[in-house]
């Protein structure tokens, strides 16, 4: 990795961010479907067998 590249976050880190966003939306009384979508995204990312970060994006469907 060159000095200008940024390491892709781990799936666990991405899932934690998604879950934190879901909690924040829930505290703000956001639409329940939106909150659920973030939680489902977090669960999906946790189950992936390969990186979900920018280097793992292929444009293919997952799950």
Tell me, what's the pLDDT at 30? 96
Q: Dihedral of CA 25/57/8/5: which sign? A: negative
In this structure, is residue 43 part of a structural domain? yes
In this structure, is residue 4 part of a structural domain? no
Reported pTM:
0.75
DSSP string, 1-56: --TT--PPPPHHHHHHHHHHHHHHHHHTT--HHHHHHHHHHHHHHHH-SS--SGGG
What are the tens digits of pLDDT across the range 49-63?
Answer: 888 876 555 556 655
In this structure, is residue 16 part of a structural domain? yes
In this structure, is residue 33 part of a structural domain? yes
pLDDT band (50, 70, 90) for residue 7 = confident
In this structure, is residue 5 part of a structural domain? no
| Domains in the chain, number | 1
What are the tens digits of pLDDT across the range 24-37?
Answer: 999 999 999 999 99
What is the span of the domain harbouring residue 39?
A: 11-55
Return all residues near 63 (Cβ < 8 A) that are at least 6 apart: 44, 47
């Amino acid at each position: 990795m060159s000095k200008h590249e940024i390491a892709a976050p781990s799936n666990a880190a991405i899932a934690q961010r998604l879950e934190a966003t879901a909690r924040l939306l829930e505290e703000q009384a956001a639409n329940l479907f939106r909150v659920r979508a973030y939680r489902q995204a977090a669960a999906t990312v946790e189950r992936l067998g390969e990186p979900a970060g920018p280097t793992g994006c292929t444009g293919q469907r997952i799950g």
